[in-house]
């Protein structure tokens, strides 16, 4: 007796939102690769045709019609292989959908049932939830198709499909990254596979889209919940694996609980048998099981990919970075050089009367180590002229924050002027600790097109710099940058600790307040000084108006400013 098996390909691709023709061409290319690999079925990510998330493009009827036209073109070319493709369906309403393409036709459509409406997700704004969970039979194996969120629920569409006989559960995704999510996600998928005695094939999109990064890490789990194949993280890949439906059948014979569950629960609503493709000779395949990345390599790769895709997908080639010789700009420069190539990165040193010789030297050393260009544009003459111009208005006052921030704003003007002249994108260098507390200057160091490390706490900045220095033949970030106290250098002998609590104290408070929504009393109970806690909370709350004016940046935490954490600017609640 022949073993019932399918060769399944998971096409972990990097689509671009709105590039319908480009995305369709990429899908067609990977479909051909899957066919060449002898795959019976190939699955593509959620909304692969449109890119994810398409947001208010979905409110344009022509966009929806164009996406349907591209899907029909794909279907017409799909011969000798079955494909599952994410798209936007239009029936009585809009649906986040998966099409099953077979023998030149669209032979089935699944509508996503669970629509996430939390964190970065806003799907109920655009889509109607589906209500049917069809299953399909191909080469003697029954499979079900679901979309992303559907599999996160213990009893959802994949469970109903398994109860109706689906031996393989194909789940297509656009699951955004945050640090540690892969491990949590894989535990969930392993549980779904084991609970349903089914093979779970999970395909995820990869790439950057505005603030979001998708990590890929597509995977296959057997009926016991063991991972048997995994794609790389943060890169495109066609993951191919042979799955054994006969092993699923044997496992189910040994689990009488399943029969009781089938009697008690509704199952899939319809099924379709797909005509077999021509039999082909193929040797057994050893599936790839890529080693997972560990922190901080995982976070660093997310920042690199998010930066690369934001720059390239928005039509830029080169970037500008203000190099102060400090830790933050050093990390941003390293990420940019790794993402784009050092020849596409220009550092700009803008020393003032308060810039130390060490900081200026460190900026040059960093640029040399990375192999990127650096130019020096002193601001002293501009600063002196600005002080002279403002002297009548500032008469009778003591020098203070306005004069300090004036330097940052002059630097912002220089960076934007260079950007305007040469068409390069400005990358800002503020970290999450600074963005949280307002320790950043509007129209100064916040001015730019993309904020690479806006979701990276200061302590994590140091960790990522130390990690980057372990790569390659020699460290690229000068030791002095890692050792000297952080300083904005906007007044004599200035240190960040003059204005903020030390970062080892500040960062845990920010994590508790921003990412966990703990109250002041709860944070104090964790062992943090009450006066410091209340001061930090006040700084965070008062700085919301600044954050609303900041450029987008890569999300790497479970709760990032912007798409995740959305508080009113006008707000008197303090807690």
Q: How is residue 241 written in tokens?
A: 């694996």
Would you please indicate which residues are annotated as catalytic (active-site) residues?
A: 46, 112, 148
- The DSSP letter of residue 338 is H
Asked whether the predicted pLDDT for residue 226 surpasses 80, the reply is yes
For residues 388 and 301, give the distance between their C-alpha atoms in angstroms, rounded to a whole number. Answer: 46
Percent of the chain with pLDDT over 90: 81
pTM for the predicted model, two decimal places? 0.94
Distance CA 376, CA 435 (A): 27
Question: What tokens were used for 556?
Answer: 């790497």
Residue 73 has pLDDT above 70, yes or no: yes
**Topology at the third CATH level for domain 7-273:** Nitrilase/N-carbamoyl-D-aminoacid amidohydrolase (3.60.110)
pLDDT(324) > 80? yes
Residue 426 has pLDDT above 80, yes or no: yes
Average pLDDT over every residue of 565-572: 87
The Cα 306–Cα 303 span in angstroms is 5
For the chain, what are the domain ranges? Answer: 7-273, 297-496
How does pLDDT run across 145-162, given as a tens digit for each residue? 999 999 999 999 999 999
Mean pLDDT computed over 198-225: 97
In the prediction, which pLDDT does 39 show?
A: 95
Check residue 370 and report its DSSP letter.
H
Q: What is the DSSP string of 413-482?
A: HHHHHHHHHH-PEEEE---HHHHHHT-S-TTTTT-SSEETTTTS-HHHHHHHHHHHTTSSSS--S-HHHH
Q: Which of 297-301, 321-325, 491-495 has the lowest mean pLDDT?
A: 491-495
Angle at which helix 327-340 crosses helix 458-468, to 10 degrees, equals 50
Cα 107 to Cα 84, 134, 141, 275, 373, distances in angstroms: 10, 11, 16, 11, 55
Exposed/middle/buried for residue 566 (C-beta within 10 Å: 0-12, 13-18, 19+): exposed
* Torsion angles phi and psi, residue 502, rounded to 5: -55, 140
- Where is average pLDDT lowest: 173-182, 345-354, 560-569? 560-569
pLDDT at 265: 64
Could you tell me the CA-to-CA distances from 447 to 231, 401, 442 in Å, in that order?
37, 18, 7
Spatial distance between the Cα atoms of 105 and 377, rounded to a whole number of angstroms: 61
| 115-119, 222-226, 318-322, 459-463: the lowest-pLDDT one | 115-119
pLDDT at site 1: 44
Q: What is the pLDDT of residue 270?
A: 64
Average pLDDT, the chain: 93
- At residue 299, the pLDDT reads 97
Topology of the domain covering 297-496:
Rossmann fold (3.40.50)
CB-count burial class (<10 Å; 0-12, 13-18, 19+) for 560: buried
Distance (Å, whole) CA 33 – CA 39: 9
Query: What is the DSSP secondary-structure string of 73-141?
Result: HHHHH--SSEEEEEEEEESSSEEEEEEEEETTEEEEEEE------STT--GGGT--------EEEETTE
């Amino acid at each position: 007796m022949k073993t019932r098996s399918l060769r399944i390909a998971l096409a972990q691709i990097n689509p671009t939102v709105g590039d319908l023709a480009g995305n369709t061409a990429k899908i067609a290319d990977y479909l051909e690769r899957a066919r060449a690999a002898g795959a019976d079925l190939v699955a593509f990510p959620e909304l692969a045709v449109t890119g994810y998330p398409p947001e208010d493009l979905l409110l344009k009827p022509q966009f929806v019609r164009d996406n349907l036209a591209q899907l029909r073109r794909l279907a017409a070319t799909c011969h000798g292989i079955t494909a599952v493709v994410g798209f936007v369906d239009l029936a009585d309403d809009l649906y986040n959908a998966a099409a099953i393409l077979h023998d030149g036709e669209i032979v089935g459509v699944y509508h996503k049932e669970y629509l996430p409406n939390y964190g970065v997700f806003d799907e109920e704004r655009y889509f109607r939830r589906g209500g049917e969970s069809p299953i399909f039979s191909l080469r003697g194996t029954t499979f079900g198709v679901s979309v992303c969120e559907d599999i996160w629920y213990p009893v959802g569409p994949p469970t109903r499909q398994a109860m109706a006989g689906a031996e393989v559960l194909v789940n297509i995704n656009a699951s955004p990254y945050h640090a540690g999510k892969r491990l949590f996600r894989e535990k969930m998928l392993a549980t779904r596979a084991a609970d349903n005695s089914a093979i779970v094939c999970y395909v995820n999109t990869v790439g950057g889209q505005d603030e979001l990064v998708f990590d890929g890490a597509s995977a296959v789990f057997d009926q016991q919940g063991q991972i048997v194949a995994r794609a790389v993280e943060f890169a495109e890949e066609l993951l191919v694996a042979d799955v054994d439906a006969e092993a699923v059948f044997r496992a189910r014979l040994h689990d009488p609980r399943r029969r009781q569950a089938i009697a008690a629960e509704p199952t899939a609503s319809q099924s379709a048998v797909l005509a077999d493709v021509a039999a082909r000779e193929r040797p057994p395949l050893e599936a790839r099981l890529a080693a997972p990345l560990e922190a901080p390599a995982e976070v660093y790769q997310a920042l690199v990919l998010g930066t690369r895709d934001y720059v390239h997908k928005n039509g830029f080639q080169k970037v500008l970075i203000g190099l102060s010789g400090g830790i933050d700009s050093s990390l941003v420069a390293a990420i940019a050089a790794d993402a784009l190539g050092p020849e596409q990165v220009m550092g700009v040193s803008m020393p003032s009367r308060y810039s130390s010789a060490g900081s200026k030297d460190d900026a040059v050393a960093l640029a040399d180590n990375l192999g990127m260009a650096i130019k020096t544009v002193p601001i002293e003459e501009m600063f002196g002229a600005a002080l002279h111009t403002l002297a009548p208005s500032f008469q009778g006052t003591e020098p203070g924050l306005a004069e300090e921030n004036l330097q940052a704003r002059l630097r912002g003007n220089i960076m934007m002027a260079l950007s305007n002249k040469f068409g390069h994108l400005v990358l800002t260098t503020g970290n999450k600790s600074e963005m949280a507390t307002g320790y950043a200057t509007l129209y100064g160091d916040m001015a730019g097109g993309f904020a690479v490390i806006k979701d990276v706490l200061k302590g994590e900045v140091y960790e990522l710099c130390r990690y980057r220095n372990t790569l390659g033949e020699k460290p690229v970030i000068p030791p002095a940058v890692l050792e000297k106290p952080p300083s904005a250098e906007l007044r004599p002998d200035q240190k960040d600790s003059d204005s903020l609590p030390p970062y080892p104290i500040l960062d845990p408070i920010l994590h508790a307040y921003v990412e966990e929504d703990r109250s002041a009393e709860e944070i104090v109970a964790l062992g943090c000084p009450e006066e410091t806690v209340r001061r930090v909370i006040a700084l965070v709350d008062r700085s919301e108006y600044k954050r609303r004016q900041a450029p987008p940046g890569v999300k790497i935490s479970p709760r990032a400013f912007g798409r995740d954490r959305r508080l009113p600017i006008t707000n008197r609640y303090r807690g």
